[in-house]
C-alpha cells in the first residue's frame, strides 16, 4: 500500500502546484505524509457532505478541485463549517488534496474533460500556457463539432451529457443559429470573453455568466460568437473528477498500488431548484 507522500507525488506530476495561478491555494490541506492510502475519492467541492461521504466510503484521501481555504484563516474550530470539515477529516485519518487552477491548465485538464463529455474534437487551448513549448496546456479549449448543430441542439446535448442540475443550460443568442466551432471553459468563464472573440468560434460554453458581461458581449454582433451557453459551475467541472480518477487509476496500476478510486456523484451545486417563467409572447416581451 502506498504512503500518502507517494500518492501526492504522483498527483503532483499530473498537476504541478507551480502551474496554479498565484492567487490560488492548491496542494495538500490535511494529511500525514506517512499514512497509508488504499481508497481515494474525487469530488469538486470539499464541503461537509462530501467529507461525510469520504468517511462512509472508508476513503484515506479526498481529492477536490475547489480549495477548502483560499484566503488566510485564523481558526479551524469545529464551530465553523470549514473547521468542521477539517475536524472530520483528521478524526477519520482522511487526507485532503486540492488541484484547482493547476488542473484547469493541465493537459489533459478540466476543459478537456468538459469537451470530452460533449464529444467535441479539441483543437487547441483557448488561452495557451506560454511556458508550454508544445502549446497543449492552457485555459479553456477551442473545439470542433463532428456535425454542425443548432445552438438549441448543442444546449440539449450539454444538458443531457453533463450531470443534472437545477439550472440546466441557459442560452444567449439565436437558438436556431448553426454551430461548427465552440470554445469551452470549465468553471467561471466571463474573464475569457476577449479570448473567445479572438478565437472566432461560433459559441462559448462555460458557467457563472453575469448580466452585464454577457449582455455587452452579445451586443457586439460584429465580433462576438453566435451564442453563449451557461451551465452550472459544478456541472462543468465534475467531468474532470472522472478524468482525474482514471489518471490516478492508471498510475496505481503502473505501480501495483491496488488503489480503489471513486468519484462522488453527490450534486454540490448550491442551486437546488428552478422555476421556469410563464410563457412569453413570440416577440419575446414579457406577458
Ligand atoms: Zn470551479
pLDDT at 280 (0 to 100): 62
Mean model confidence pLDDT for the chain: 95
How many angstroms does the Cα of residue 105 sit away from the middle of ligand 1?
A: 12
Report the pLDDT averaged over residues 25-29: 97
Among the residue ranges 3-12, 31-40, 42-51, 218-227, the one predicted with the least confidence is 218-227
260 DSSP β-pair partners: 39
Does residue 279 register a pLDDT over 90?
Answer: no
What residues pack around ion ligand 1 (CB closer than 5 A)?
Answer: 187, 237
Q: Coil, helix or strand for 111? A: helix
Pairing assessment for the beta strands 39-43 and 260-263 based on DSSP bridges: parallel
The angle subtended at Cα 129 by Cα 125 and Cα 130, nearest 5°, is 130
Q: How far is the CA of 29 from the centre of ligand 1 (A)?
A: 17
Measure 162 CA to ligand 1 centroid, in angstroms: 15
C-alpha cell at 14: 499530473
Within 10 Å of residue 72's Cβ, how many Cβ atoms? 6
pLDDT band at 230 (very low <50, low <70, confident <90, very high): very high
Report the pLDDT value the prediction gives residue 223, as an integer from 0 to 100.
74
pLDDT at 284 over 90: no
Instruction: Using the mean position of ligand 1's atoms as its centre, give its distance from the Cα of residue 65 in Å.
Output: 7
pLDDT value, residue 225? 77
Q: What's the 228 CA to ligand 1 centre distance in angstroms?
A: 18
Which domains are present in the chain?
Answer: 4-102+240-263 (3.40.1390.30), 105-231 (3.40.1390.30)
Amino acid at each position: 500500500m502506498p504512503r500518502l507522500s507517494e500518492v501526492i507525488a504522483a498527483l503532483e506530476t499530473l498537476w504541478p502546484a507551480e502551474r496554479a495561478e498565484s492567487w490560488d491555494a492548491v496542494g495538500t490541506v490535511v494529511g500525514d505524509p506517512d499514512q497509508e492510502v488504499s481508497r481515494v475519492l474525487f469530488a469538486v467541492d470539499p464541503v461537509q457532505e462530501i467529507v461525510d461521504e469520504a468517511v462512509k466510503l472508508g476513503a484515506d484521501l479526498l481529492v477536490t478541485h475547489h480549495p477548502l481555504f483560499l484566503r488566510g484563516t485564523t481558526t479551524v474550530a469545529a464551530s465553523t463549517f470549514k473547521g468542521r470539515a477539517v475536524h472530520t477529516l483528521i478524526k477519520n485519518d482522511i487526507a485532503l488534496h486540492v488541484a484547482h487552477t493547476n488542473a484547469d491548465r493541465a493537459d489533459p485538464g478540466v476543459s478537456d474533460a468538459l469537451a470530452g463529455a460533449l464529444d467535441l474534437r479539441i483543437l487547441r487551448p483557448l488561452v495557451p500556457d506560454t511556458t508550454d513549448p508544445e502549446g497543449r496546456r492552457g485555459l479553456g479549449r477551442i473545439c470542433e463539432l463532428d456535425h454542425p448543430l443548432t445552438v438549441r441542439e448543442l444546449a440539449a446535448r450539454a444538458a443531457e451529457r453533463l450531470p443534472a442540475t437545477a439550472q440546466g443550460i441557459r442560452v444567449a443568442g439565436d437558438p436556431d443559429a448553426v454551430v461548427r466551432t465552440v470554445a469551452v471553459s470549465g468553471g467561471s468563464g466571463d474573464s475569457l470573453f476577449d479570448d473567445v472573440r479572438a478565437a472566432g468560434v461560433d459559441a462559448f460554453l462555460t458557467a457563472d455568466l453575469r448580466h452585464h458581461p454577457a449582455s455587452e458581449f452579445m451586443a457586439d454582433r460584429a465580433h462576438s460568437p453566435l451564442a453563449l451557453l451557461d451551465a452550472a459551475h459544478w456541472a462543468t467541472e465534475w467531468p474532470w473528477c472522472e478524468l482525474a480518477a482514471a489518471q490516478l487509476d492508471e498510475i496505481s496500476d503502473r505501480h501495483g498500488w491496488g488503489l480503489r478510486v471513486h468519484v462522488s456523484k453527490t450534486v454540490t451545486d448550491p442551486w437546488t431548484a428552478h422555476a421556469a417563467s410563464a410563457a412569453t409572447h413570440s416577440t419575446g416581451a414579457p406577458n
